[in-house]
Structure 1
Amino acid sequence: MSDLTLERTFAANPETVFSYVTEEENLLKWWGPEGMTVPEYVLDLTQPGPWSSVMVNAEGERYKVTGEVVAVDPPHSVELTWAWHDENDARGHESRIRFEVTPNGSGGTQFRLIHAGLSDDEAAASHTEGWTSALRKLEHIAN
């Protein structure tokens, strides 16, 4: 199993950043790597329950991922499970994500994304690349 942790500092206050990482209308502004669209989704991470999204790249390839929101502590953290589906819609290996939001002492926010339990180092590297790209989009709206 492999884990990854990514951290960012945002100018926006913690409550605003928490809304960016939990509320569907805000998640859609940054969810998925750059160049991807999200035509199908259930992305309310404000309360426990199922979530899903289908990301589509420029070539039309579809990538489905689903999970459960398992814990929400506004405006501090949200935890969810994460698993990709294959071409037959079978759900694969499940990992776990935690978004942590804390004040940074200057009116802004320290944000931490922890993606734990990835199947191997290759999956961790691929997810690091994807999350880094998505977080660039989040940086544009939270700074």
Structure 2
Amino acid sequence: MTESDSVRIDKWLWAARFFKTRSLAQQAVEGGRVRLDGQRVKPSRAVRVGQHIVTPRGEETWEVQVIGLSEKRLGAPLAALLYAETDDSMAARTQAAADRRLAWQGQVHADHRPSKKERRDLQRFRDRNAP
């Protein structure tokens, strides 16, 4: 962790492993998907300890409080020490995961891959019902 009292937000998001590359972090910040203390910011905005960040991570939205700073990408266990997720964020992510699980269970799933004949039949059915 660095000795400085602030780090660029795009570097921090990359170092904390919210994004795979710094350019993806920069694009998310520029696109307005990342908020610092409730406001849209530019990628060069400085992040300080104690500030709140709302950021997407995959399909989920994370709300975290900055508790550490780093300009270098760290291993996952060390990167997790840079932030603390809020209780509301954890509850929302848990609920979203449960909703996705229920949606998956409600769908009909085949018990096997289609055979060559079944694929041909499906293709014929789709071709007949195409607009």
**What TM-score results when the alignment is normalised by the length of structure 2?**
0.31
Structure whose residues are more often strand by fraction: 1
**What TM-score results when the alignment is normalised by the length of structure 1?**
0.29
Q: Using CA pairs under 8 Å that are at least 6 residues apart, name the structure with larger relative contact order, 1 or 2.
A: 1
Larger radius of gyration: 2
